Amino acid sequence: MAFDSMHRRRILIALATMALGLIAPLASAQVERYVAAPASADGIGKRYMGREIAAVMGWQGAAWLEREEREREERTDLLLVALDLKPGMVVADVGAGTGYLSRRMAPAVAPGGKVLAVDVQPEMVGMLQALARQEGLSNIQASLGAEDDVKLPSESVDLAIMVDVYHELAYPYEVLGSIVRALRPGGHVVFVEYRAEDPRVPIKRLHKMSEAQVRREAEVLPLVWERTVNALPWQHMVVFRKRL
């Protein structure tokens, strides 16, 4: 019996050692994905694939999202045309904020479709729900996401969009991975970002992204670049398809 007990103990130790050996490289990859650096005025001191991640605009800045001149400055009407939404589609608005875009997409996917509006700030989710009720938009479903996960069901979404959001994600790889999981096969993810290539765009540097940087970061996941739309005054719209 003593021999059997000792033998079992050795086997358990060996298995535990093997498990640690498998976990260690994963943990190392997680640590190495992001690089700490001194924070700039608009950043969080964390770099990913060569860029510093921008600080999140808090819910206190909600008025900026609902400003009267936004339609003229960003031409959301042209964005909606380029998205080519159809009745019955399920669209995820990631980092939806007050739901400025969600409320404009909701009629385009009706009847039968819905907008899954996700944000990480409970205050934003509350404002979004109130504005959707005020406008009678019952096909908007607001939910609270996590810093590293949009928390949407697997293969439930036809199209996911992030408008001036991705550059602020503290965990861009993880969040984008969760979006890809939520997309149906052949579904699309759309990045709308202020153009870093254009110095005339009156936005702070860290809150802009180049098309090349968007593609570099998206293509480490099973996403295939499909097209880039440059019809908007300040932003580009970079569209990817989930690889089958």
pLDDT in tens, 103-117: 999 999 999 999 999
Distance of alpha carbon 159 from alpha carbon 178, whole angstroms: 13
Give the per-residue pLDDT at 15. Answer: 45
41 shares a domain with 154:
no
75 shares a domain with 20:
no
67 Cβ contact partners less than 8 Å away, ≥ 6 residues apart: none
Give the per-residue pLDDT at 159. Answer: 98
Distance of alpha carbon 108 from alpha carbon 111, whole angstroms: 8
pLDDT tens digits, one per residue of 114-165: 999 999 999 999 999 999 999 999 999 999 999 999 999 999 999 999 999 9
For residues 122 and 144, is the Cβ–Cβ distance under 8 A? yes
Q: How many domains does the chain have?
A: 2
Distance of alpha carbon 137 from alpha carbon 140, whole angstroms: 6
93 shares a domain with 13:
no
Give the per-residue pLDDT at 8. Answer: 54
Residue 24 has pLDDT above 50, yes or no: no
Residue 27 has pLDDT above 80, yes or no: no
Average pLDDT over residues 24-37: 65
Can you read off the two tokens belonging to residue 238?
């970079």
134 shares a domain with 227:
yes
Average pLDDT over residues 61-73: 91
pLDDT bin (cut points 50, 70, 90) of residue 31 is: low
Average pLDDT over residues 80-86: 97
19 shares a domain with 113:
no
Residue 22 has pLDDT above 80, yes or no: no
Residue 8: give the domain boundaries.
Answer: 2-48
132 shares a domain with 68:
yes
Can you read off the two tokens belonging to residue 40?
């700039």
* b/e per residue 121-147 (b: at least 16 CB within 10 A): beebbebbeebbeeeebebbebeebee
Give the per-residue pLDDT at 45. Answer: 95
Q: What distance, in Å, lies between the first and last C-alpha atoms of the chain? A: 55
DSSP-based three-state secondary structure for 12: helix
Give the per-residue pLDDT at 127. Answer: 96
Give the per-residue pLDDT at 60. Answer: 83
Can you read off the two tokens belonging to residue 184?
């149906």
pLDDT bin (cut points 50, 70, 90) of residue 9 is: low
181 shares a domain with 74:
yes
114 shares a domain with 39:
no
CA neighbor of 80 nearest in space, from 98, 100, 64: 100
Tell me the average pLDDT of the chain.
90
16 shares a domain with 117:
no
115 shares a domain with 30:
no
Give the per-residue pLDDT at 20. Answer: 45
88 shares a domain with 25:
no
76 shares a domain with 130:
yes
For the domain that residue 172 is a member of, what is the CATH number? 3.40.50.150
Can you read off the two tokens belonging to residue 121?
């700030």
Give the per-residue pLDDT at 12. Answer: 47
Beta-bridged to residue 209, according to DSSP, are 195
